[in-house]
Amino acid sequence: MAQLVRTVVIAALCVGAGALIIWGPRGGPPIDPDRVHVTYWEKWTDFEGAAMHALVDRFNATTGAERGIYVEYVATTNVDMKTMVATAGGDPPDLAGLWQRNVHSFAASDALTSLDERARSAGLRDGALLDIYEHACEYHGELFALPLTPSTIALYYNKDALAEFADALRDAGLDPERAPRTIAELDAYADIIQRSDARGDLELLAYLPGTAGSFAWFWQTWPIWFGGRLYDASQKRMLVDQPAFIDAYTWVSKYAERFDRRRVARFEAGLGNFASPDNPFISGHLAMVRQGPWFANTIRQFAPDIHYGVAPFPTIDGVPRAYYEEDVITVPRGARHPDEAWSFIEWLYTAPPQHYSPPDGSTGMGYEYYESRADGKTVRKPMPPLRPIEWLCWMHCKNNPLRNPDPAFVETHPNPAIEVHEALARAEHADTVPPLPNWAEIENEFVAAYADIWAAGPPVRERLRECQRRIDILTKLTETRLARHAVAYP
Amino acid sequence: MNKRVHNSDSAVHGLLWISPWLVGFAVFTLLPVVISGYWSFCDFDGLRPAVFTGTENWTTVLHDPLLHQTVRNTAIYAAFALPIGLALALGLALALSARIPGRAVWRAMIFLPTLMPLVAVGIIWMWVFNARYGLLNLVLGKLGITGPNWLTDPQWTMSSMVILGMWGIGNAMIIFIAALQDVPSELYESAALDGAGPWQRFRSVTLPMVSPAIFFNVVIGVIYVWQIFAAPYVMLPGGGPGRNAYFYTMYLYDLAFTYRRFGYACTLSWVQLAIILFLTALAFRFGRRWVYYRGALQ
């Protein structure tokens, strides 16, 4: 009997292996040996990866074919770390899709190829890009990257949740038809919009500045809404013990206190991940969240019927302020084909508006049609042609890096409130990641301070002073390290 | 003479046969160890040539408050996780050495978790520790106890890591079971004839007889707990509030791969080696007093 079982198992394994060999997955068609093979590491998968893949395919079929270039898109997790290791090992990809926050760190370590001259020749340094996005790609005034998909942060609010508490909001002199504009108004909304279950556990809150439904990199942004700046350009440092920081994080700490820190922690523990149906905004646990334009994609994916609005995030004085960031494309130092890699970047920005082919399994949205909302009805209309870079941002549901976007970009954009995000990108008060080569280390110090303030409630001023002391030590250390290579901080 | 030549030939043949391993060891282990020794005296960001800075990294070790906190955290973790884990493993080994129904199944159930990837373990335990819907607080709730916010309350993060550490006691338990099977039954019979009760038999027969296994598990445990990394890194990146669960290897990893301070990270890896060697030497020093080797006595 045992012998029989063994024979059957071995036979089944052999049949499975044989089937895999005969019908299993195959590699792509061989790359034409006469074409220069450009490797492109990028962080995106899923629909974001599919969008860039479609662009790469279009380039390979058109300009790439003419110039003898073939770009291979490789989706890569931890792309920044892997690019750094590959660059250190002398075998980097020709193109690397990084985050804006990597640019200064990589450039200070001489890990990126300057794109300044190439961009100038292509007319991309003469006002083609929005200043904020262009400057974020510079290190010491030199361009080391180009924006791919930029974004600004705004307030997403659930109109139905506000309507549920409309009477109480009106009694308090608030308007349930619109989002709060000042921090004081936000606090007033928060006092009213809340619900607990029979056990006393929080079920619904207006807003939560802590960890839920947010990302760690949001945490350092609070001083912006309180009228401060994250980076002191005159002192070339991040000063976290300045008044705007103290005011902002005192407010954060008190926010946790007013609902009882312990209850808030339990509430947060029950909230789901961002890209899931359990997202606290989508599941109805938070009436308002601070998010980027991509959030419209998440809402459409998991709860397309949510009745929501978008507005600038409330500020201390009611003056709209913005936080922006962007994904970028770079050519690592030591890349084998920098000129061919640049051809692809240049094509992204300068190719004429065109239509794109849907990859296998695509729903068609963004390829053949877009959804136009008029009179409360959603109508499918033929997709107009867009430039590659604009179509990429459209597909990612993000802002446009160009100073003069194609009108069709806003008209057809899948985020119905993209105008709000576009206006924020042009706001007088817009701030971003401090341009520091040691930002990763400083940010982690700050995140540690924030986690303490939110979870444990230590005296804010003292905790921020301690954080500042650590930041000063790290700043001095980086100054010394860069000086060894004749590079000025920051 | 002929015998000596023959022995020499055998040695050459032996070395040739294991040469693939020797080459691999030299290139992928020995060389990196030597290079990290050199880099521990350098400022090296991984991208530009290393700059020799003498003892700068080594003096930084004395003045780095974050390092001192991670050493303190790891020591506290070791002080609790190691003895509790060993005691639990020994207790389970004793229970599963008795003739109980389904003994093999119980042993397998306790050992199997040690085979799971640590990142997956971390994700599972994030749910177990979930303050609102977690299994642990659910059980505590049934007992009328309101469970804490395990992963967000700075007073509980270290405790949660110690509890998580018990996940891997299966290895130690298996070693204890093997050692218990090796205890001669006549010793228990003699002790029983002399009127020894269960506790006296455990204290005077079992413990001395399994002391080499205890010693082995202590040494392996010291090495393990001082390198704790994957699960806490997944569950509490940055160590959670107050950085109370920020352990030595997490800091070392961040220094190297997030902050690109490879030189200082190399220094810390050598300091870690020194700490582990010191604790192991200490275990050997004190082990002489309480470890009983039957073979040595004979």
Helix axes B157-165, B118-128, angle to 10 degrees: 130
Same domain assignment for residues A251 and A311? yes
* Structure-token pair, residue B5: 């030549």
Same domain assignment for residues A125 and A244? no
Chain-chain contact of A269 with B149 (C-beta, under 8 angstroms): yes
Q: Which domain holds residue B161?
A: 66-297
Residue A22, chain B, CB below 8 Å: the answer is: no
Q: Is residue A62 part of a domain?
A: yes
Nearest CA in chain A to B239: A448
- Min distance B264 CA to chain A CA atoms (Å): 12
Q: What is the mean pLDDT of residues B20-27?
A: 96
CATH code at position A50: 3.40.190.10
pLDDT at A330: 98
- In total, how many domains does chain B have? 1
Of A109, A262, A440, the CB nearest to B258: A440
Q: Is residue A417 part of a domain?
A: yes
Same domain assignment for residues A277 and A259? yes
pLDDT at B298: 45
Strands A95-99 and A36-42: parallel
Chain-chain contact of B133 with A270 (C-beta, under 8 angstroms): yes
Chain-chain contact of A451 with B149 (C-beta, under 8 angstroms): no
Chain-chain contact of A452 with B154 (C-beta, under 8 angstroms): yes
| pLDDT higher than 50, residue B107 | yes
The closest alpha carbon to A268, from A455, A442, A132, belongs to A455
Q: Is residue B126 part of a domain?
A: yes
pLDDT at B141: 93
A289 forms beta bridges with A156
Cα distance between the two ends of chain B? 37
pLDDT greater at residue A241 or residue A344: A344
Place of tokens 């029950």: A270
Of the pLDDT bands very low, low, confident and very high (cuts 50, 70, 90), residue A237 is confident
Q: What is the mean pLDDT of residues A138-149?
A: 97
Q: Is residue B11 part of a domain?
A: no
- Min distance A227 CA to chain B CA atoms (Å): 27
Q: Which residues of chain A make contact with B239, given a CB cutoff of 8 A?
A: 448
* Structure-token pair, residue B294: 């039957």
Residue A87, chain B, CB below 8 Å: the answer is: yes
- In total, how many domains does chain A have? 2
Q: Are B42 and B51 in contact (CB under 8 A)?
A: yes
Same domain assignment for residues A299 and A445? yes
User: Which tens digit of pLDDT belongs to each residue from A105-116?
Assistant: 999 999 999 999
CATH code at position B263: 1.10.3720.10
Q: Which residues of chain B make contact with A444, given a CB cutoff of 8 A?
A: 238, 254, 258
pLDDT at B5: 61
Same domain assignment for residues A318 and A356? no
User: Which tens digit of pLDDT belongs to each residue from A193-214?
Assistant: 999 999 889 999 999 987 644 5
Q: Is residue A29 part of a domain?
A: no
Place of tokens 């890896």: B269
Q: Which residues of chain A make contact with B242, given a CB cutoff of 8 A?
A: 451-452, 455-456
pLDDT at B289: 84
Same domain assignment for residues A261 and A291? yes
Q: Is residue A6 part of a domain?
A: no
Q: Is residue B179 part of a domain?
A: yes
Same domain assignment for residues A355 and A371? yes
- Min distance B105 CA to chain A CA atoms (Å): 22
| pLDDT higher than 70, residue A216 | no
Same domain assignment for residues A317 and A329? no
Same domain assignment for residues A447 and A371? no
Chain-chain contact of B47 with A440 (C-beta, under 8 angstroms): no
pLDDT greater at residue A458 or residue A149: A149
Of the pLDDT bands very low, low, confident and very high (cuts 50, 70, 90), residue A219 is confident
Average pLDDT over chain B reads 93
- Cβ neighbors of B204 (< 8 A, separation 6 or more) are B191, B196
Residue of B149, B244, B250 to mutate for A, most A C-beta atoms under 10 A: B149
pTM of the model as a whole:
0.89
Give the separation between CA A263 and CA A341, rounded to whole angstroms. 52
Nearest CA in chain A to B240: A451
Q: Is residue A5 part of a domain?
A: no
Buried b (16+ CB within 10 A) or exposed e, A397-424: bbbbbbeebbebbeebbbbebbebbbeb
Same domain assignment for residues A200 and A265? yes
User: Which tens digit of pLDDT belongs to each residue from A348-405?
Assistant: 999 999 999 887 767 778 888 998 877 778 888 999 999 999 999 999 999 999 999 9
Q: Which domain holds residue A285?
A: 160-322+436-483
Q: What is the 3-state secondary structure (H, E, C) of chain B?
A: CHHHHHHHHHHHHHHHHCHHHHHHHHHHHHHHHHHHHHHCCEECCCCCCCEECCCHHHHHHHHCHHHHHHHHHHHHHHHHHHHHHHHHHHHHHHHCCCCCCCHHHHHHHHHHHHHCCHHHHHHHHHHHCCCCCCHHHHHHHHCCCCCCCCCCCCCCHHHHHHHHHHHHCHHHHHHHHHHHHCCCHHHHHHHHHCCCCHHHHHHHHHHHHHHHHHHHHHHHHHHHHCCCCHHHHHHCHHHCHHHCCCCHHHHHHHHHHHCCCHHHHHHHHHHHHHHHHHHHHHHHHHHHHHCCCHHHHC
